[in-house]
Amino acid sequence: MEAKKPIEGKMRYLKYGFVHMECKTYHCPECRKILNAGPNYQPKYCCECGQKLDFTEVKWEPDKQIGYKEEEENYGKEKLPKIC
Ligand SMILES: [Zn+2]
């Protein structure tokens, strides 16, 4: 099977309950499942469909802080998507 490059995406999440963060996500080019990948770990295959993945050209960047949560919307906890 030929290795394919993962699709880059963006995701926002809340850190410590009040800091808005933006991070890059990588998705399987076949089934679009979000991949559990980071600077220190890149899966060789998609855990969902088994597509071979090529992370060699991915540039890893730290998560970006994009602002603080307003007082009045202070209700939830850190939301993270389900990953493999
Ligand atoms: Zn897949």
Does 81 reside within a domain?
A: no
> Could you tell me the distance, in angstroms and rounded to a whole number, from the CA of residue 9 to the centre of ligand 1?
15
Does 79 reside within a domain?
A: no
Does 78 reside within a domain?
A: no
Partners of 13 in the beta sheet? Answer: 21
Domain of residue 59, residue span = 7-69
Does 55 reside within a domain?
A: yes
Does 62 reside within a domain?
A: yes
Q: What is the edge-to-edge ordering of all strands in the sheet holding 7-15?
A: 7-15, 19-27, 64-68
Q: How many domains does the chain have?
A: 1
Are 37 and 84 in contact by the 8 Å Cβ rule? The answer is no
Does 48 reside within a domain?
A: yes
Does 24 reside within a domain?
A: yes
Partners of 84 in the beta sheet? Answer: none
> Could you tell me the distance, in angstroms and rounded to a whole number, from the CA of residue 27 to the centre of ligand 1?
8
Are 51 and 31 in contact by the 8 Å Cβ rule? The answer is yes
One pLDDT digit (tens) per residue for the chain, 84 residues: 899 999 999 999 999 999 999 999 999 999 999 999 999 999 999 999 999 999 999 999 999 999 998 765 555 556 666 666
Question: CB 51: neighbour CB atoms within 10 A?
Answer: 19
Does 33 reside within a domain?
A: yes
> Could you tell me the distance, in angstroms and rounded to a whole number, from the CA of residue 18 to the centre of ligand 1?
33
> Could you tell me the distance, in angstroms and rounded to a whole number, from the CA of residue 34 to the centre of ligand 1?
8
